[in-house]
Amino acid sequence: AQSVTQLGSHVSVSEGALVLLRCNYSSSVPPYLFWYVQYPNQGLQLLLKYTSAATLVKGINGFEAEFKKSETSFHLTKPSAHMSDAAEYFCALTGANNLFFGTGTRLTVIP
Amino acid sequence: DTGVSQDPRHKITKRGQNVTFRCDPISEHNRLYWYRQTLGQGPEFLTYFQNEAQLEKSRLLSDRFSAERPKGSFSTLEIQRTEQGDSAMYLCASSLNTLTGGTYGYTFGSGTRLTVV
């Protein structure tokens, strides 16, 4: 069965500090993994995706994620947080015909 | 192409009324999905279409929920006899599914926020 666990429903960082949002997955088949960002009252915007090529994936807005099979993890990072990064972030995993989402992590950036 | 469009953006309805939402996917995409997102949760899969065929609908929340994609282009999601628990964001997404390459590029719309009063 496929599932995604996001550790930490809320993360606060200072502007300019490292952002680390955690995602662990469970999958019976090699997974495709995604990170999406959602701003208030908006839909989901794709940040990056892992589709079994390079394990370090670079996305938009300076975000990147590393697929670690041994740890079943796909954590999202950004070296320096910006105020505009404040949003809800969702990790997702492909199922047979849809995406399974985690419960999300709300990122707050403190000036 | 302007992406996935959803209409309306917001809908307020009285309990017991029927509502219908529309989704226009990216034109090259053959798959269309509906998700529901409640406050503080991730999106929850409801149903999907490959072209005009509805291939999965067991996740629809009750028989009050139905979806159509009559010509394989736009889709509608209808909720009959709405209840307060139906209040949520309803998201539509589309993707291109190939026989050999799997599914790529889930693109989401901005959603329709339903409030049942």
Kindly report, residue by residue over B34-87, the tens digit of the pLDDT.
999 998 889 999 999 998 888 887 778 889 999 999 888 899 999 999 999 999
Residue A1, pLDDT > 70, answer yes
Task: Tell the residue number behind the tokens 């028989």, with chain if given.
Answer: B63
Inspect the interface and report whether the beta carbons of A92 and B111 lie closer than 8 Å: no
Question: Between chain A and chain B, how many beta carbons pairs sit less than 8 Å apart?
Answer: 53
Instruction: Check if B40 contacts A (Cβ < 8 Å).
Output: yes
Scored b (16 or more CB within 10 A) or e, A33-65 reads: bbbbbbeeeebbbbbbbbbeeeeebebeeebbb
Q: Which residues contact A37 (CB under 8 A, 6 or more apart)?
A: A44, A45, A47, A87, A88, A89, A90
- pLDDT, average across residues B10-27: 97
Residue B2, pLDDT > 80, answer no
Interface probe, candidates A5, A48, A97, chain B, greatest B C-beta count within 10 A: A97
Instruction: Check if B113 contacts A (Cβ < 8 Å).
Output: yes
Instruction: Check if A30 contacts B (Cβ < 8 Å).
Output: no
Cα A87 to Cα A81: distance, rounded to the nearest angstrom: 12
Instruction: Check if A45 contacts B (Cβ < 8 Å).
Output: yes
